[in-house]
Amino acid sequence: MEDSISKNVMIASGEFEKEKNYWLDKLSGELTISGFSPGYHPGEPELNSHIAPGKRAVHRFCFPEKIYKEFIHISGDSPYGIFILLLTGLDFLLAKYSGNRDIIVGAPVLKQRAPGDYFNHLVVLRTKVEAEFAFKDLVLQVKQTVSEAYQHMNYPFDEIAKLLGIPFDPHHYPLFETAIVSGNLHDIDGLNPQKCTAVFTFSQAEGCIESEVDYDPARLGRGMIESLAQHLINYFRQVWQNPQVRLSEIDILSVEEKRQILWDFNQTAADYPKHKTLVEIFTERVEKNSLHIAVVGPDRQHISYGELNIKSSRLAGRLREKHGVREGDIVGLYLPRSIEMIIGLLGTLKAGAACLPIDSRYPEKRVKLVLEDSGARMVLKSRLAVCGLAGPGEVRGTGHRNIKGLPPALNPAYVIYTSGSTNKPKGVLLHHRGIINHMCSLVNVFGIGEEDDFCHTVSSSFVVSIFQTFAPFYLGRCLRLYPGEVMGDPFQLFGRAASDGVTVLEIVPSLLNAYLKLIETGKRKVELSRVRMMILTGEELLPSLVDRFYRYYDIPLVNAYGQSEYSDDTLFYRVPRGSRKETGSIPVGKPAHNTWVYILDLNFQPQPVGVAGELYVGGDGLAIGYLNRVELTAEKFILAHSSWLIADKREKKARSSVEFPMSYELSAMSSIFKTGDLVLWQPDGNIRFLGRVDHQVKIRGFRVEPGEIETYLLQHKGIQAAAVVPKQDKKNNQHLYAYIVPAKDSASLAAVPLTEYLAAELPGYMIPSAFILLEEMPLLPNGKVDRKYLSQLEAEPLKPKMTYIAPKTNLEKQIAGVWQEVLNLEEEKVGTDVSFFQVGGTSLDILAVNRKLEALLGSEIPMVNMFKYPTIGALARYLSRESGDETASYQPGKQPARVNIRKQKLEQRTRRIKGTENG
């Protein structure tokens, strides 16, 4: 009590004012807690949640004699100098392991203090570890940091935290989780190891530096700590040899570690028809299976291999002779899912051109943007696709001409457009070889054979559709195409797949999640007796979904991970029962055939096992690049020139097992693709996905760049600022939320619904689920949008007001009641002419409505009719055996109050502080 009073008196007197100002300046800006990635115990789960709280573990090690002597020599045998050198090593390791340049480490105060200086026991050591620094530069910066910290060590550490608005936590220090202690310098009693994830203690003894790591075994595994100690030794071994070495060039991995992650984990070489094209793959099957059925259309009409070959050849002839299509051109296919679409794909490829599939449901502006960007020579479109586009055969620019000197297998085969960070989507140019390598990899790894059957389950503009289209042709089987309403309804999809004898089913996890939720609420499950494998792709796979699936089915699951830039899948993982319940994640697996993967740090150096880094992929599946985007291609497809790769990228075989096993005819293919995904190696060679380095997200299996949506929002005259962030709902479904600062005259936001505005520009999966108005955009100290804060913000979304026509009949009232229950619209007046989707409903919500209505009315309602009759009035008339349809109309409505960000943050901070005080 007396010390506390004295401390408060000293603070109030202003005696510590200079020190207070120093710490406020030193700790200004965005603060990041510096720590190490979750590690592993050999043979045990990576997250050791079974370990009792408070339990600690200790690992002791010594520096080799030669390294110890260099410590003495460089420091002049000064404990203070040795401490500074050791801190450079810890800072470097924290930067490498965490992926942050801004490192904060805690330390006790010095033993030699003036009498009465008992108000503080800890200091914070903040250092910027810049890649361009030489070792000596880092030493000088750390020396200055340590010197300044101990000159200002009297100001109480807990007061600093209060001034920075950091809530008190009795179990953790507020600014650091890693600490360093010198047994020769520090007042050790001032530090509580229980509040740290790891404490590194070094004590100079006779002829050695005694070293130990006191760590929390529930957060860090023994294997990681042992590696950390060795990496610290390796760090000093290198910097002693060359004090001028740049930090970005320091390689802390042992030869054994590099052999494991660069060679052993990448043993993926396999034979496949690498010199053939998709056309050759198809025509070879025509010779064997001419009379067999090749495709069954959505209307159950079918076409044989022989007839499909003839019709596609005729189309190829017309494209070349009548429309001048040549090798290397691009042909757009604006066709609905049909036999004609498959004829169009094969005919385009036979003409030597690349296919540009465009979803016929995309808005007209999006279609035109893609066609203009691609320079497509012409567009094949169905009569059913009435979008105001030019008719079949119209020339659309000069096209993408022949790439001279390339064998046909490396010619462009497909252009797949994905979301871009501007309002301009980017086209990924795929060659035949990459597509065939991916197809053969899946077939061979999982034993898919000539007895298996497939169905098409995704949009033709999605890269996954390529495998679903050509794998049946490669195996001489039948491709089944289903109508859109079947693909959107898991019960219909699974039912058709079961009746058609499909054995390999590939879907996105969100569709499976919707199906399981309906089963769990009473719907009878579909018997999938012939399905022997289900491939889940396009989204992160959660353990809870796996566990729920295995309660009802014995079908093996495969977690497939990949990118359009690598011709689809890069990694595969067979998901066992009870998979990773204790870890909260499912691995994304091991590399596909002829694929090499690398997990690199910010300096393009390999990361050790268990340490997070960015994933880079290379191999036969690597795309040619981005169409007409030279700078972006150079940014993302990086030449593999680092010292840990062999110098000659054209060499057919690696000279030793520690070298990179590349084999390409094209120097352009000597690149590795920068995926932007944060991952880590597991000890068994599987890779675990941790998240995105940037802000890209997967929505219903499609990769979405929120920046592209933001660009369109900012073009709206009523919007001053906009940010789009992903959010997960309670059902683990991913949604996009748009946060908007209206312009001064924002009346237009009420007059024209934003969903309608974006729907004219973007595909449905890119339309945010909610729009929230803000008074101002929350910013970080560096001026960037505080997306983390927005993801946690709860506020009333902007909802346009509809014309209200009250439900009159009992049936209309029953439907309205179900809408209100599913969409949580208890206080909303849901009119009979309002579209389900205009009041926030999604395709997953409509499944829940369908289930509840079937239970309520005691009769089955086909899902197609739920989409066909989206208003209460229209659905009621259908159910009453009356005809007709209705559409909703928007009227200007009152906007909800704008969220005051400053007030929200203040209230949020107050709640946190009160919560900790009450706790």
Name the most confidently modeled range: 161-170, 273-282, 396-405, 535-544: 273-282
pLDDT digits (tens, 9 = 90+) for 417-454: 987 666 678 999 999 999 999 999 999 999 999 999 99
Residues 263-285: tens digit of each pLDDT = 999 999 999 999 999 999 999 99
Q: Among the ranges 2-11, 51-60, 96-105, which has the highest mean pLDDT value?
A: 96-105
DSSP letter (8 states) at residue 888: -
pLDDT digits over 293-351, tens only? 999 999 999 999 999 999 999 999 999 998 899 999 999 999 888 999 999 999 999 99
Q: Which residue has the higher pLDDT, 908 or 130?
A: 130
Q: What percent of the chain has a predicted confidence (pLDDT) above 70? A: 78
The SS3 assignment for 716 reads coil
Q: What residue segments make up the domains of the chain, in order of their start? A: 16-252, 276-406, 705-792, 801-891
Q: Say which residue the tokens 């960070």 belong to.
A: 421
When pLDDT is cut at 50, 70 and 90, the band that residue 682 belongs to is: very high
HSE at residue 501, side-chain half, CA atoms within 13 A, is 7
pLDDT above 90 (res 83): yes
pLDDT of residue 863: 66
The enclosing H or E element of 4 equals: helix 2-13
Measured distance CA(728)–CA(313) in Å, rounded: 48
What one-letter code names the amino acid at 219? R
User: C-alpha distances in angstroms, 780 versus 108, 691, 784?
Assistant: 30, 21, 5
Residue 577 amino acid letter = R
Q: Is the pLDDT of residue 690 over 90?
A: no
Residue 566 · residue 617 · CB < 8 Å: yes
Q: What is residue 897's predicted lDDT score, i.e. its pLDDT? A: 52
Quote the tokens at residue 237: 């071994």
So what's the pLDDT on residue 769?
77
| Arithmetic mean of pLDDT over the chain | 81
Antiparallel, parallel or unpaired: β 454-455 and 479-480 = parallel
3 state DSSP class of 742: strand
Residue 314 CA to residue 336 CA, distance in Å, equals 20
Residue 180, beta-bridge partner list? 200
Percent of the chain with pLDDT over 90: 47
For residue 907, pLDDT beyond 60: no
Window from 326-340, 367-381, 821-835, 851-865 with minimum mean pLDDT: 821-835
Six-digit token string for 643: 């010292």
* 467 has a pLDDT exceeding 70: yes
> Is 213 or 678 the better-scoring residue by pLDDT?
213
Looking at the domain covering 801-891, what would its CATH class be?
Answer: mainly alpha
Tell me, what's the pLDDT at 594? Answer: 97
Out of 411-415, 734-738, 833-837, give the one with best mean pLDDT: 411-415
Please determine, for residue 555, whether its predicted confidence score (pLDDT) is greater than 90: yes
Cα distance between residue 846 and residue 855, in whole Å: 14
HSE-CB of 599 using CA atoms within 13 angstroms: 30
The reported pLDDT for the residue numbered 824 is 77
Phi, psi of 268 (to 5 degrees): -125, 5
Mark 196-215 as b/e (b = at least 16 C-beta within 10 Å): bbbbbbbbbeeeebebbbbb
Top pLDDT among 877 and 401 is at 877
* CATH class as words, domain 16-252: alpha beta
The dihedral through the CA atoms of 682, 687, 688, 693 has a sign that is positive
| Distance, CA of 800 to CA of 751 (rounded, Å) | 8
Task: Tell me the C-alpha distance between 455 and 494, whole Å.
Answer: 10
Buried b (16+ CB within 10 A) or exposed e, 518-539: bbeeebeebebebbbbbbbbbb
Out of 86-90, 476-480, 640-644, 745-749, pick the least confident.
640-644
Of residues 903 and 315, more confidence is placed in: 315
pLDDT digits (tens, 9 = 90+) for 136-177: 999 999 999 999 999 998 888 888 888 887 777 778 888 899
Q: Of the CATH numbers 1.10.3720.10, 3.40.630.30, 3.40.1280.10, 3.30.300.30, which one belongs to the domain with range 705-792? A: 3.30.300.30
pLDDT(644) > 80: no
Tell which residue, 799, 793, 796, has the closest CA to residue 901: 793
Distance of CA 735 to the CA centre of its chain: 14
More confident: 834 or 810: 810
Contact 545, 585 (CB under 8 A): no
Residue 643, pLDDT above cutoff 50: no
Are the beta carbons of 660 and 267 closer than 8 angstroms? no
Instruction: State the average pLDDT over residues 220-240.
Output: 94
pLDDT: which is higher, 182 or 421? 182
Model pTM greater than 0.85? no
Q: Which fold, 276-406?
A: Rossmann fold (3.40.50)
At residue 841, the pLDDT reads 73
**Tokens at residue 517, please?**
């939720």
Q: What's residue 7's pLDDT?
A: 55
Describe the strand order of the beta sheet including 770-773 as a list of residue ranges: 719-728, 734-742, 770-773
Confidence class for position 394, pLDDT limits 50, 70, 90: very low
**d(C-alpha 773, C-alpha 896), whole Å:** 8
Task: Flag whether pLDDT at 913 surpasses 50.
Answer: no
CB–CB of 157/183 below 8 Å? no
- Tell me if 681 sits within 8 A of 395, measured CB to CB: no
Mean pLDDT over 196-213 rounds to: 92
pLDDT category at 838 given cuts 50, 70, 90 is: low
Output 533 or 322, whichever has higher pLDDT. 533
Phi and psi (nearest 5°) for 589? 105, -160
Residues found in the chain: 919
- Between the CA of residue 149 and those of 80, 165, 222, what are the distances in Å? 13, 21, 32
